[in-house]
A = this chain, B = another copy of it.
Amino acid sequence: MRERRLEVLLDGDRLPGAELERPEPLGTALARALDLGRLAHFEQLETRSDPDRAPGWQLATAYLGLVPADRELPGAWAPVDELPPLADDHADIVLAARARLRAKLSYTNVGFALAPATFTISELRRIYVAALGHDVSATNLQRVLVRRGVLERIPGRRAPGRAGGRPAALFRFVSQELAITDEFAALRPPR
């Protein structure tokens, strides 16, 4: 996330990755190879076994890792909606990952993995807009997330920017652990 756009880390014309040689969990192998430090959210996506994958044949397991918007990380980051041509089906994987992220933003609290430790509603709104790809009302965003117990207000206010404006209240995510917050409106158990 940078400049109001969702970005993805690339290694040339492909997604960065690691080869699994010794017995170890998939996630740790990837984390060791990428050296991104602790990621707030790290989630397995699909495993593909395309026989025509070059060279020879191999299995590939994709992962989705999220980095907070205020963290600067080295490497080549490309905007997700303006990807250069990628090798194999890597562009597909990026789109699938974005779809997964968008869905989870709506019914979980993954936002904590994209947002700084504390933030104003406007800042959070910009992050959600960039990730979701469509506009979001700041009023509704705050009300929805606070009512669900995802967001909580903390003391203090942020001084306005150059252009002026009322000082903004500060918020933070109540939990840093992934949790489902929307019990899928329909088909709920009766009370």
Contacts and interface: CB of A to CB of B under 8 A. Distances in A.
Interface of A: 20, 23-26, 44, 46-51, 57, 59, 61, 103, 105-107, 128, 132, 134-137, 141, 144, 182, 184-187, 189-190
Nearest to A185: B185
Given A23-B57, A57-B23, A136 B49 contact: no
A186 B143 CA distance: 11
A140 to B, nearest CB: 8
Nearest to A59: B59
A190 B137 contact: yes
Given A23-B51, A23-B57, A46-B44, A186 B182 contact: yes
A56 to B, nearest CB: 8
Contacts of A182: 184-186
Contacts of A49: 20, 23-26
A149 B103 CA distance: 21
